[in-house]
Amino acid sequence: MKIARLYGLKYPNPKSSEAMILYHLKHRGIARRDPAEHSRKATKEVVDAWVKRYECGESLRQIAGDEFSPVTVFEHLRKRGVKLRDKVEEAIRFNTKHHRTQFNGSDSDREYLLGFVWGDCAAERHGRGVRIKTGTTHPEFVNLFKELFEAHGNLRSYPKRAKVTPAEMNLEIDIDGSFEFLLMKKAIGHLPDLTNSGTVLAFVAGFFDAEGCITFHRKGAYSDFEVQMSNSNGELLAKIQAALEELGYHPTLYRSVDDDPQVGHKTESVMWKLALYRHEEVKKFLAEIPLRHKEKVTKARLALAHMNSTSVLDSEGFPEGWRDYLDVVKRGCDRLIHQMVKALKKPDSGDTSASGDVPD
């Protein structure tokens, strides 16, 4: 029929032109092509190779190439019982510029990520995937975010002005839909299940890495370490409090109006704080919580070293090494802020590469 159209053969019935071409082909001894010929060329060995290529992620069109049709490949894979991918998902995957990998962690990994996102990240649906966003002035937080998510998608970082500091680094990444469990933060009235003692500490560790702090408390002749978590979601902190009480802790939950002198005015935003003060409970908490934020891991190590020994305080009244490490943290934050301020002054400051160096 295409040959008939090419030569301009027109008949009242389109089939007549096809019949005319077929008549001349037969008259000249030109055999018609067998429509099943391609299918018969697909030997067992060829189909075996197709199965392996498909399971490795290649599309039907890639496998078919120029020799076969995607439909032929499809039919052979279906006959072999291969579980075929959704057409829409396959089209999205094939046309996605940056590769995304699925979540394949343990239950503890899942709960840690959930606690981390509940603590200091925004999670939203983006197409069929999930977009995670946050901002920070701490280099070790940047490193932790990269460690948690960078292998699963394309990480973007860019400078942004902040209320408390001159600037901060914003981090953003689009990841696979298998991370959909991180979207539960947006569900109204939904709170994570913290009844499983095996994963409670994993969730609390993620939340603490995002929103917790370890401080050395001094009041007159008394001094000791305490741990604290802050958030505007008092209902969530109350649930964490109940979960920790089930594990034998006695945390204190209270609310305060956030009044940061660096902002220059009272923000009137209600903040909830959950704290542990008892010496033995602080020791137990720092010893068993699986922290990943290197800054907080170092602080926990220094605090435990002091609490487990009879070491004296230095001339300024701090445990050995504590004051020095706080200075290291401050210098790292100052360098990151300085870098972000410089980037904001550039004409193309709307976006910077995530591959840029992060201060040590």
Tens digit of each residue's pLDDT (9 = 90 or more) over 98-122? 677 888 889 899 999 999 999 999 9
- Whether residues 207 and 329 share a domain: the answer is yes
Query: For residue 225, which amino acid is it?
Result: F
Q: Per-10-residue mean pLDDT for the chain, 360 residues long?
A: 84 83 90 65 86 85 83 87 73 62 88 92 87 95 95 91 91 92 69 74 94 87 89 90 92 76 53 93 95 96 88 75 93 95 77 46
Q: Is residue 7 part of a domain?
A: yes
Percentages helix, strand, coil for the chain, rounded to the nearest 5? 50, 15, 35
Residues 179, 211, single domain; the answer is no
Domain count, the chain: 4
Domain shared by 206 and 328, yes or no: yes
pLDDT at residue 210 in the model: 95
Position 349 in a domain: no
In terms of Cβ atoms closer than 10 Å to its own Cβ (0-12, 13-18, 19+), residue 39 is middle
In this prediction, residue 34 carries a pLDDT of 67
Helices (H), 150-293: 197-211, 234-246, 279-288
**Whether residues 201 and 324 fall in one domain:** yes
In a domain, 327, yes or no: yes
Let me know if residue 18 belongs to a domain: yes
Whether residue 321 sits in one domain with residue 252:
yes
Tell me whether residue 304 is in a domain.
yes
Is residue 48 domain-shared with residue 22, that is, in the same domain? no
If asked whether residues 56 and 119 sit together in one domain, one would say no
The predicted pLDDT at position 72 comes to 86
Q: Is residue 318 part of a domain?
A: yes
pLDDT at 257: 65
Check whether residue 58 and residue 26 sit in a common domain.
no
Q: Residue 177: which domain range?
A: 107-186
Q: Are residues 220 and 327 in the same domain?
A: yes
Question: Do residues 205 and 324 both lie within one domain?
Answer: yes
Domain shared by 158 and 216, yes or no = no
**Residue 159 and residue 116 share a domain:** yes
SS (H, E, C) 68-80: CCHHHHHHHHHHC
Tell me if 348 is assigned to some domain: no
In a domain, 350, yes or no: no
Last residue of a domain, one of 186, 205, 234: 186
